[in-house]
């Protein structure tokens, strides 16, 4: 990519897209195209086709998706499957038709089988059954990976796929029902602090372990791979380190400054015991994360306080 290359960031208002936009701007790229969902409905084939025909972007970061936590994934199963398939199909196909030089498709760690060995290697894809609660979203993302590979195979398109681990950071979603675990805990502890609640209840035993990557580190990895990675199949992006939900809860409690008690409701389900990405492929390509978890949560919490009045 040249500094003047025309780059389309799909999903620029979301946590991931906005981080990629910040990275490109910081690196001196000046010819960046964006459209919000009111200006361009990526689910609409005709709208997307006309947009690509008019704008002719040279590079595409496909960070647009319908996303949410376990409750949202399980509740809006049809929406998660339909919307994400439509977005991917339209953007990837129009990128081929418009002769985009390179496209990056962003997936999710939920593409891996529920009972896959840990840490999760790229070649574990399609080796077992998916986690039932987010199966529609995962199937859509798997279809996106395979679509990129198919267009590469049949048409010679330089379309690549990256799989981020659990993300958090600026512009995160803090919805009380539809958010992921880390932002949900930030909001819950903040609300408890403001209301002087004596106790915060967290589902499960707190023993499951999860990996978390700061969204601006993901953007840095995406930028690096856009310049240095041109292969079929996917590549994981993560830290290669995980933390138990219990340790995470106490870390967030400390950062927020909540002084009450944490109650782990062991009658509630724990979910998958562990989800850790194998990032050896990424490390071998020369990239490693920079932001440690505690530092990243502090940055995310400051961002949360400026945007959410509770």
Annotated binding site: 11-17, 106-109, 141, 164-167, 180, 188, 203, 210, 270
Q: In whole angstroms, what is the distance from residue 138 CA to residue 116 CA?
A: 14
Q: In whole angstroms, what is the distance from residue 175 CA to residue 73 CA?
A: 14
Catalytic residues: 137
Are 300 and 169 a contacting pair, CB within 8 Å?
A: yes
Nearest to 68 by CA among 163, 181, 171: 181
Q: In whole angstroms, what is the distance from residue 269 CA to residue 20 CA?
A: 35
Annotated binding site for NADP(+): 11-17, 106-109, 141, 164-167, 180
257 torsion bin: left (phi>0), alpha (psi -120 to 50), beta (else): left
Q: In whole angstroms, what is the distance from residue 263 CA to residue 285 CA?
A: 43
What are the structure tokens assigned to 260, written together? 């009450």
Are 238 and 213 a contacting pair, CB within 8 Å?
A: yes
What are the structure tokens assigned to 221, written together? 């990895």
Q: In whole angstroms, what is the distance from residue 177 CA to residue 168 CA?
A: 16
Residue 265 DSSP SS3: strand
Q: In whole angstroms, what is the distance from residue 10 CA to residue 49 CA?
A: 14
């Amino acid at each position: 990519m040249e500094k003047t290359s025309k780059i389309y960031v799909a999903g620029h208002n979301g946590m991931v897209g906005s981080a990629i936009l910040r990275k490109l701007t910081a690196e001196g790229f000046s010819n960046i195209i964006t459209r919000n969902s009111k200006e361009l409905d990526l689910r609409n084939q005709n709208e997307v086709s006309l947009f690509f025909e008019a704008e002719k972007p040279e590079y595409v970061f496909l960070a647009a998706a319908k996303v949410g936590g376990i409750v949202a994934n399980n509740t809006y199963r049809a929406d998660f499957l339909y919307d994400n398939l439509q977005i991917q199909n339209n953007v990837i196909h129009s990128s081929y038709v418009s002769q985009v030089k390179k496209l990056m498709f962003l997936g999710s760690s939920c593409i891996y089988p529920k009972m896959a060995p840990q840490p999760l290697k790229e070649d574990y894809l399609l080796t077992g059954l998916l986690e039932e609660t987010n199966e529609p979203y995962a199937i859509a993302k798997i279809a996106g990976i395979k679509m990129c590979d198919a267009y590469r195979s049949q048409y010679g398109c330089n379309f690549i796929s990256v799989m981020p681990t659990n993300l958090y950071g600026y512009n995160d979603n803090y919805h009380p029902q539809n958010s992921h675990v880390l932002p949900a805990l930030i909001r819950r502890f903040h609300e408890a602090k403001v209301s002087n609640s004596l106790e915060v209840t967290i589902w499960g035993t707190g023993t499951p372990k999860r990996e978390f990557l700061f969204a601006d580190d993901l953007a840095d990895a995406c930028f690096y791979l856009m310049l240095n990675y041109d292969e079929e199949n996917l590549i994981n992006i993560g830290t290669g380190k995980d933390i138990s939900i219990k340790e995470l809860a106490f870390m967030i409690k400390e950062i927020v400054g909540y002084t009450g008690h944490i109650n782990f409701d062991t009658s509630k389900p724990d979910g998958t015991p562990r989800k850790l990405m194998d990032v050896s492929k990424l490390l071998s390509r020369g990239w490693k994360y920079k932001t440690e978890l505690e530092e990243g949560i502090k940055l995310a919490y400051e961002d949360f306080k400026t945007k959410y009045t509770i």
